[in-house]
Every structure is written in structure tokens, then in C-alpha cells.
Amino acid sequence: MKLWGGRFESGSSEIFERFSGSLDFDRRLIDADIRGSQAFARALERAGIVTAGERETIVTAFDRIRGEAASPSFYEGATDEDVHTLVIRKLQERAGAVAGKIHTGRSRNEQVSLDMRLWLREECDRARALLCGLMGALLDLAEAYPGALIPGYTHMRRAQAVLWPHYLLAYFEMFARDWERIGEARRRANVLPLGSGALAGSGFPFDREAMARDLGFDAITRNSMDVSGDRDFALDFLYAASVAMLHLSRLAEDWILYSSEEFGWLELADGVTSGSSLMPQKKNPDSLELIRGKAGRVMGSLTSLMVTMKGLPMTYNRDMQEDKVPLFEAADQLAGSLEMARVVVASVKLNPARPALAAEESWVVATDLAEALARAGTPFHQAHQLAGRFVLESVRSGRKPADWTAEEMQRFAPEFTADFARLLDPKEGMKSREIVGGTGPEAVSAALAEARERLTEMTI
């Protein structure tokens, strides 16, 4: 079936139909399309275009169609141009002539926008729930090793000691921002486009506010031309999804390293790793590598729609049909990656001795020494110089922090008074970082409790 044709003398070519059809992918919108059309039938009744009886016939037929659409045979032999056309053909088959009124004052340009917004709302909810699951798993893991210490890195060089929960809370913050960003994308999508017509506004007096209430939208769009040419709401989601994938990818990268034999900090569960067909000893972090890999695909989806939209003249252009595959793809890869990450986090084991040793064997305490000197009155610049020379001397003589005694330190520099030796233990210096947001043990345990609290609010 076609929703147009009067102006044509001959039919479409077979190649054009195959090339331009979108049913293969936009059938994913069928639930949204039916929901939207049922609400539109009610709007037609309110506008006096269909009777209450006709509206009832349409709505009931759509309920049946929705049920039938669950079985794959529903689509067998369907040659309709897109999901909107298919749904109207089915309505004609089920409800007869009254189906001819369902498209009164409505265009597929606004309908596709409506369907995508309805679909996207639910995808945002799904992604946010999965983010909450992942954040919960991160907090569980932090609570499992409250006192574990790791060297924090800058430039991939050991920098300063931090608590393991502090490190995990950094990811909690990133995912909490993703939760907000996807909520913002949802808010922007949750605006009713119906009533815009093809581009100039509908020629029938629909109560748009009533339609918005019916479909659970927070607001109505303000310009029909904008609606017809707008995919910002999809781009907002794709951006939010890309940033979430970026965070997942960095976590994946960290843990691929931390679970390597070189680091030996983490043991990934058997259930999320795989072996080699050749090398019997291998236990590969494939789940994490795939998360990192899929991040590229999601960012590709964002780029794809950006580039599709950037040169389009106002308003709707068929190019815009290419929005769906990247949007679906990104939503699926994001959901899959969030689910996978939660399982990895929930099943990982930390071997706290290894990062503790990495901290002790390096000079992560150098900053603690310099700051303690500054606290005792040495100007920081000189304190930095002195601590630097102390590290250089240690490197030259092959000494680790623990190899120094208080007396030797004092002999090296009288500024290193007796209590400085205490700071050679990386656990000690952390105690001076009790600032909000810092890695001091009290600050971290407060941050952990606060994160738990925030997470309960997010799930609501």
C-alpha cells in the first residue's frame, strides 16, 4: 500500500522501492506508532472529524494490531514503504473504510518525529536504570575494600596514593553525570510534535495540549517548520550515549591494564573472560575490550547523524530517514555495554597487596614530604626542591622509601625532623587530604555514604 499516488502515472521501480523502504528497521517503532495513532484518533474525535463510534473502532482495531505485531508472521510479505504505511494498511484491513480518516491533518513528517520521541523516552529510562545498576555495583565494590590503597596515575606514571574506593567513586561521578545527561535528553525529547502537519501546521483545529496530556508529553513544540526538520532530540541522546560509552571505555581500559600480569591488581571472573584457541594459559578480558570497541560504534552513530543533518535545507528531507539505524544502534550498544559492565564490576576481585606494593615501591609519598615541609615553614618551592633531591638520591642509591630511617633522613636534610619518617608510608600522607572531594579516609567514607544516598534518589 501507498499513502500517495494520485499524482503519478506509473508506479515506483522495484529498485527504488528496495532502496527507499525503511520497514526493515523502522518496524521497531510499531508500538510507538500505534500508541500515537490511537491518541490521534481521540484527537480526531475531539475535533469532530470522527464520531465516538468510529474512534472506538479505530482504537480497538489498533489494540488487535498491536497484539498481532508481536508475531514475526505479521511482517511476512509486507512491501509497505515504512512502518507508518504498514500500520495504516493493517488498520484498513481490520477496520475498513474509517481507516481512510486516520491521516486527516497529519503528516508522516510529524508522525516519525512523534514515534521516535515516544520510543526514545523509554530508551532513556532503560539506560538510566542500567546506569543505576552499574553505579550500585561500583559502590558495592568500594565497600568491599574500604581501606585498600592504590597508586593514582598521571601520564601513566605513579603519582599519589589514593584509596581504592576513591578511585571507584570517580567513575560513580561520571556515571551520575551520564544519568543526568540522559535525563536531559529525555526531557528534550518529551515534547509533542503533533499538530505541525508536513511543515506548515495542521489545517485542522486540534487541541495540541490535550494530545500532549494524552501521550504523557511535558510540553508542545512551538514551530511546525522546526519540527519537520528537527532531529536535535536524537542528537542529544546520541551525545549523552557517546559520553557514557566514553566513560565505560576508560573504565574498561583501566581494568584491562589492572588485570594484566604486569599489574596483577584485579582478577576478572571466569564468566566475563575468554580463552585462546591456541594458547592454553590465556584468560582474556574480552568483555572489557568489547565495551571499549563498542564505544567507537556509538560515537560513530553520533557522527553519522550529525553529518546527515548538517547540510539539509529546511525542512524535512528524506535523508532524515537515515536517523533511525544509528539511533537504534547506539541505544542497543549502550544498554548492552552497561549491562556487561555491571556484571564485570559485580564479579571482579581486587588483590589489595599488589597495588599497595606498587605504591610502596614508588615515590608516591614525595608530595606528602614536600607538603609536610611546607606545613613546617619551608616555602613550598624549596620544599619541592628538597623532596626532589631526596628522591633523586634514593633513585641513585637504589633505595625505596621504606629503606630510609629517620636518622638517615635527618642527615640528608635537617628539615626532615624525626616525624617525617612516618610519611614514608603512603597510608600516612593520605590522612592530610581530608578535604571534601579528597582521598582522606574520612572524606572517602563520607563520600561513599553520600553516593549511596544520591543513588537511592536517582532510582526513584
- Active site members: 155, 276
- The reply to whether 371 sits near ligand ARG by the rule CB under 6 A is no
Q: Quick check: 284 binds ligand ARG (CB under 6 A)?
A: no
User: Total residues contacting ligand ARG (rule CB under 6 A)?
Assistant: 10
The nearer residue to ligand ARG, 109 or 367, going by C-beta atoms, is 109
Using CB under 6 A as the binding rule, whether residue 22 contacts ligand ARG is answered as yes
Question: According to the binding rule CB under 6 A, does residue 145 interact with ligand ARG?
Answer: no
Cell numbers found for residue 272: 566475563
Q: Does 82 bind ligand ARG (CB under 6 A)?
A: yes
C-alpha cell recorded at residue 156: 601513566
Residue 421 identity (one-letter amino acid): A
CB of 19 to ligand ARG, least distance (A): 13
Q: What angle is formed at CA 346 by the lines to CA 344 and CA 349, rounded to 5 degrees?
A: 85
Cβ-contact 251, 134 below 8 angstroms: no
Site for ligand ARG in 223-252 (CB under 6 A): none
Site for ligand ARG in 43-62 (CB under 6 A): none
Contacts of 268 (CB under 8 A, 6+ apart): 255, 259, 283, 285, 287, 288, 344, 347, 348
- Rank residues 28 and 42 by Cβ distance to ligand ARG and give the closer one: 28
Shortest distance (Å) from residue 3 CB to ligand ARG: 9
Closest to ligand ARG by CB, 115 vs 371, is: 115
Kindly tell me which of 321 and 394 has the beta carbon lying closer to ligand ARG: 321
Element (H, E) at 257: helix 232-258
For residue 110, which amino acid is it?
E
DSSP three-state, residue 438:
coil
Give me the least distance between CB of 315 and ligand ARG, in Å please: 10
Residue 229 CB, shortest distance to ligand ARG, in Å, is: 11
Give 191's strand partners: 219
Q: Which is nearer to ligand ARG, 112 or 142 (CB)?
A: 112
Distance (Å, whole) CA 219 – CA 237: 18
Nearest distance, CB of residue 336 and ligand ARG, angstroms = 24
**DSSP states of 279-308 as a string?**
-TT--B-HHHHHHHHHHHHHHHHHHHHHHH
Residue 80 interacts with ligand ARG (CB under 6 A)?
no
Closest distance between ligand ARG and the C-beta of residue 4, in Å? 8
Long-range contacts of 167-173 (CB under 8 A, 24+ apart): 168/138, 168/139, 168/141, 168/142, 169/138, 169/142, 169/444, 169/447, 169/448, 169/451, 171/138, 171/247, 171/251, 172/135, 172/138, 172/139, 172/142, 172/451
Closest CB to ligand ARG among residues 22, 362: 22
Site for ligand ARG in 99-128 (CB under 6 A): 108-109, 112
Site string for ligand ARG, 26-45 (x = CB under 6 A): x-------------------
Could you tell me the three cell numbers for 161? 596514593
CB hemisphere CA count around 164 (13 angstroms): 24
- Of 39 and 320, nearer to ligand ARG (C-beta) is 320
Report if residue 291 touches ligand ARG, rule: CB under 6 A. no
Angle between the 108-144 and 441-459 helix axes, to the nearest 10 degrees?
150
Question: Closest separation between CB of residue 193 and ligand ARG, Å?
Answer: 12
Site for ligand ARG in 299-338 (CB under 6 A): 316, 318, 320-321
| List of residues contacting ligand ARG (CB under 6 A) | 22, 26, 82, 108-109, 112, 316, 318, 320-321
